[in-house]
A and B are shown apart, each in its own frame.
Chain A
Amino acid sequence: MKTQEFNWVEVLRSPNREEQAEAMNLLRAHLLKGLSIALGDRADVSEAHLEDFAQDGLLRILDKLDQFQGRSLFTTWAQSVALNSAFAELRRKRWGDVSLDALMEQGDHLAEASTFPDDSLGSQEEQSHIVSAMRKAIAQELTPKQRAAILAELGGMPFDQVCSLLGTNRTAGYKLLHDARRSLKRHLEEAGITGYDIQLAFTI
C-alpha cells in the first residue's frame, strides 16, 4: 500500500492494536528512508543512528499527533518532525559542554573592537562607520544575556543549547534574539543607518 493512501491520524490512533502497530511500522520505515536520504552521507551518522532517529521521530510524531492540521501530506509533516528531532540530537552531540559563566563572560566582549573589529569586512569609511555604530549599539542597547546569545549563535552553538544554558525555552530564546536585533536596528536607524544602507555597504 502506498503511504499516502493511509488516513494516518486515524490508524495511528486506532483501538485495533494490530492495525495501529502495522501503521507504526510503516511510518517508521518511511521515516528511516527519508532520514537515510537526508543524513545518510554524513560521516557522523551510522545506520544505527538512523534507526534511533527514526524511532525517536516516531515517538515524537505520536506525541504531536494533535498538532497535524492537514495543510500538507501527513508524511511530509512527519518527516519534518523526525528531521527536527534528529538534527537537535546531532547538534547536541557535536557541541561539547560549555558553562553559563563562560558563555556570559564571552558575551561581555561582543562590543569590543578586539572581538568586532572595525575593518572586519572592509576598510572603506562607510563600512567602518557602520561597524563602529553597531558596536556602540551593542554596548548601549543589549543585555548581557542578549550579547552572550548572539556571540554563541554566531560561533555555531546549537540554539537549543544556547537556550538551555540561559535557562529559557526556544520560543523565549528566539524572542530574546529578535528583541536584540530590533533594538540594534532601531539604534542604527536613529543614527541614520538603515537596513538597506547595511546591505549596500557590505553587499550582503
Chain B
Amino acid sequence: MTTKAQPLTPSQVAEFLRQVALTRDQEADCGACLENIAEFAEKKLSGAELGSALLSIEHHLSLCPECTEEYQALKRILQSNRQGE
C-alpha cells in the first residue's frame, strides 16, 4: 500500500522557499547554536553588538524553528529574571 503525501499548505511552501532563499554556503548547525545560545540571548537582551560567530547563530535561528522555540523560551526566562531583580 502506498502512502500519498498530503499537499503542502501555502505556509509550508512559503517556509520552504524562504529557507532556500536564505541558505548560505557556511551555516551554524543546531549543535553550534546550543553552544552559543546563552551568550547570544544575553547579548541580544542587553543590546550588545554581536560578533560574527553570534551573527551566524542569528542566521541559524532564522532557519531552524526548533532552536528558535528554545531561544524564545530562554529569552522569556531572562526577561522574567531581569524584571524580578
Contact = CB atoms under 8 A, between A and B. Distances in A.
Interface of A: 34, 37-39, 67, 69, 71-73, 76-77, 79-81, 83-84, 87, 91, 102, 105-107, 109-110, 112, 114-117, 120-121, 130-131, 134, 150-151, 154-155, 158-159, 170-171, 174-175, 178, 181-182, 184-185, 188, 195-196, 198-199, 202, 204
A198 B17 contact: yes
Interface of B: 2-8, 10, 12-23, 25, 27, 29-31, 34-39, 41-42, 64, 66, 69-70, 73-74, 76-78, 80-81
Contact of B38 (A79, A120, A134, A151): A79
Given A181-B20, A184-B20, A37 B76 contact: yes
Contacts, number: 137
Nearest to A187: B20
B61 to A, nearest CB: 13
Contacts of B30: 159, 170-171, 174
Given A38-B77, A72-B38, A76-B38, A134 B17 contact: yes
Nearest to B23: A181
A197 to B, nearest CB: 8
A165 B74 CA distance: 28
Contacts of B7: 114-117
B11 to A, nearest CB: 9
A116 B13 contact: yes
A122 B73 CA distance: 34
A23 B80 CA distance: 22
A121 B15 CA distance: 11
A73 B17 contact: no
A87 B76 contact: no
A196 B77 contact: no
Contacts of A67: 35
Given A80-B37, A84-B34, A174 B10 contact: no
A88 to B, nearest CB: 9
